[in-house]
Structure 1
């Protein structure tokens, strides 16, 4: 039988730098902290709370921590799944007060303080909490054109990375079987929507694969002839970087052979190509390409939007939740929001913000346990990084700007330092050091799927037709 709703946070709280207003009153029993999401925010929150007098439950839809900044390295064969991910159970095995549950949060009951989650078999279970930490992150946004997802996978999950790897490598394999002509060229053309860090990294990696990794492995085609088209609505790549670094990145991409198209929006994605429309109102233009990759935007996951609605919180267009200075939802000091979902002070959607947010929330909970006032969240910008190609990356930390080979070395050290688990670091360092001598890709295995999985595009027994067409043929 479930106990009565706790009275851990009966009213407004105060901050350390404000006059006393209300005091947070903690109940005598051990508080239950529920963290929804095992990304950087959830991970760092757990680590800081692991030895506190609380019971922690981590609810995650994949039960694993994913190092998202290196997803494109997995998608293009540089790193394996094991290099950039780790089971949460393994990560938290040494903490007796931490429980990991596999499930997707779908419903919040703020009165009973429960979260309902779906198991993979779509049955439900309920988790109680005294403190809720929403660290569920964002998902790929298609700007209201969800139909684009069928032909243009995003880059947010391991499934996305493996699908992109399948599409890229299969495109070259299919082109090898075709005679010279437009159809072969269609398979050797790759379109990337979005010129932010992920889009730039993907575009550079595909060209590098074509010109170096695959250059001497085919007989009928010349992989070097593969075209990579990069589209963006802005006027340059990497708009969050300083203009001089952005210009260097653009020059490097042009040198690699990436074709850039600025000031355009992708207005259609289909089986054999895309349509882009100039922002200035010019005529739409079609581009033929059998592989389209989408990195153009993000939006809040459905559960985050549900939480905002249930709690009466304001959100921005992307679904980020407006929060108080301590990252709590207004009127609900027991509910924290961290990472990409925070809609305050134009905080960036980067790993460092999630990490710092997780540490901040843990500090707030510890201060509550000690009867001390909370402190407001202060984000410290640790800089930005972007990988262009082998031996070439950009680093921007305040006024410090590094590019080229030194930037590449710094990029690798920074990313490896944040990988979870010693084994992950050691194996990734070994792979990365080996790649210094030769820009090889040792993790290029991919699966074609099965005929009974229509969402998997390339199989031996089905075509790229619509599912209903295949059903009618059957």
Structure 2
């Protein structure tokens, strides 16, 4: 092991940003991840609704390492099972322990079920590539089954839980498929036979956004045919229905869980201090509380004095700061504290409909906001091939809509609503 090697657990926004900064400065870096690729999570819902191929939003971590001209970057595909802080080693599921001089922990997060009975067992998530593909196949399998049976009383119901960006974007994409794609591609199915429900326990969608943008979002979803239910809390989830806290019940074929995030369960085995939501506690300079030479960045960390939103931009900026502080520590410099520079937030609702909120107070909606959303997300994808492929797929889908509503398909099953949810596919190193 080189004496200045930095080991990074997790190849997401924070981990890759830190790795880029460190190798640029001549430091040896190894990324450990249980997957052989990094995933651009903001576009996974597009995979789940058949708009993009999974390869459009994933990028090989081995290719990332091979692209490093300094030859200082390396990758190990493995699951982290523990950390030996005395020996400064990361214990992994395959191969020998990996020694480090500095350690960055950035494993990302998964779903938070808030202790709701049945939620973990019977809902689907779209935090990983595999999960997005499962959602896609269940939805289109259900539509194909309805088209074959031609039963006017049969209804396919998709419930999306959570009124944040992921929930809004998923519900909007499904509703567009319902109102515009179904009449063209599934003439055997009546539009009213595909029910899209968006459930939010608070009184508004897109909580961090301006009230005007929240109202616009609700109206836009309603125009698309989404049954928006605010002030509605999930009490319990069953294989074929959901019970709500107000005593009502709704039969469904799939429940997509987009209600909050939490730490992966395996993180608790690493011996690091954890706070709210299982997030790793850090000091303002991103060092893990009580641990020398160990830093954390991204959604999985929490500075209790200055909590940050669990979004891509804070993760990227934290990754840069961690790299800076590691370099400063090795060169005898001072540590800097994290200050979040808000670059704005955005969410898409459907074709030509989105909301954008910039830090200078500028807010806009409609086609300009949608176009900005598309350009920013394509530009943020890793790799020129992914950007071109995603741009082509989105362009073809836009120009040939609504016939392109099922342009990207997968494998179908005979009884999608009876499938038991798989064991959690934690996207963690």
TM-score clears 0.5: yes
CA shift in 2, pair 1:431/1:314, >3 Å: closer
CA shift in 2, pair 1:47/1:251, >3 Å: same
Matches within 5 A, 1:25-424: 30-95=3-68, 96-119=71-94, 125-145=96-116, 147-180=118-151, 182=153, 184-185=154-155, 188-223=156-191, 225-278=193-246, 284-307=247-270, 310-311=271-272, 313-316=273-276, 318-344=277-303, 345-398=306-359, 399-424=361-386
1:221 positional shift: 1.6
SS for the counterpart of 2:149 is: coil
CA shift in 2, pair 1:61/1:465, >3 Å: closer
RMSD over aligned CA atoms reads: 2.2
SS for the counterpart of 2:26 is: coil
1:73 positional shift: 0.7
For structure 1, the residue ranges without an aligned partner over 5 or more in a row are 4-28, 279-283, 449-457, 468-474
For structure 2, the residue ranges without an aligned partner over 5 or more in a row are 423-429
Q: Any conservation in 2 of the 1:30–1:53 contact (CA below 8 Å)?
A: no
Deviations 1:370-427 (A, max 9, x none): 2211211111111111110011111111201111000001101111121111221222
Aligned-partner Cα distance in 2 for 1:87–1:147: 34
Aligned-partner Cα distance in 2 for 1:161–1:367: 40
1:266 positional shift: 1.0
Q: Any conservation in 2 of the 1:229–1:258 contact (CA below 8 Å)?
A: yes
User: Which is worse superposed, 436-445 or 402-411?
Assistant: 436-445
SS for the counterpart of 2:199 is: strand
Aligned-partner Cα distance in 2 for 1:235–1:462: 30
Deviations 1:105-155 (A, max 9, x none): 121111111111224xxxx64211111101101111222247433331112
Which position in structure 2 is the counterpart of 1:12?
Answer: none
User: Which is worse superposed, 430-439 or 388-397?
Assistant: 430-439
CA shift in 2, pair 1:66/1:461, >3 Å: closer
1:369 positional shift: 2.9
1:261 positional shift: 1.3
SS for the counterpart of 1:180 is: coil
CA shift in 2, pair 1:32/1:302, >3 Å: farther
Which position in structure 1 is the counterpart of 2:410?
Answer: 446
Aligned-partner Cα distance in 1 for 2:357–2:118: 36
CA shift in 2, pair 1:304/1:144, >3 Å: same
Q: Any conservation in 1 of the 2:81–2:91 contact (CA below 8 Å)?
A: yes
Aligned-partner Cα distance in 1 for 2:399–2:37: 32
SS for the counterpart of 1:34 is: strand
CA shift in 2, pair 1:133/1:466, >3 Å: closer
* Alignment TM-score, normalising by the size of structure 1: 0.83
The higher relative CO (CA closer than 8 Å, separation ≥ 6) is in: 2
1:465 positional shift: 7.5
1:289 positional shift: 1.0
Q: For the pair shown, which has the larger CA radius of gyration, 1 or 2?
A: 1
1:462 positional shift: 12
* Alignment TM-score, normalising by the size of structure 2: 0.91
Q: Any conservation in 2 of the 1:153–1:294 contact (CA below 8 Å)?
A: yes
Deviation above 4 Å: which 4+ runs of structure 1?
Answer: 459-467
Aligned-partner Cα distance in 2 for 1:465–1:147: 11
User: Which is worse superposed, 264-273 or 96-105?
Assistant: 264-273
Aligned-partner Cα distance in 2 for 1:149–1:463: 16
Aligned-partner Cα distance in 2 for 1:370–1:59: 25
Which position in structure 2 is the counterpart of 1:430?
Answer: 392
Q: Any conservation in 2 of the 1:191–1:292 contact (CA below 8 Å)?
A: yes
CA shift in 2, pair 1:365/1:154, >3 Å: same
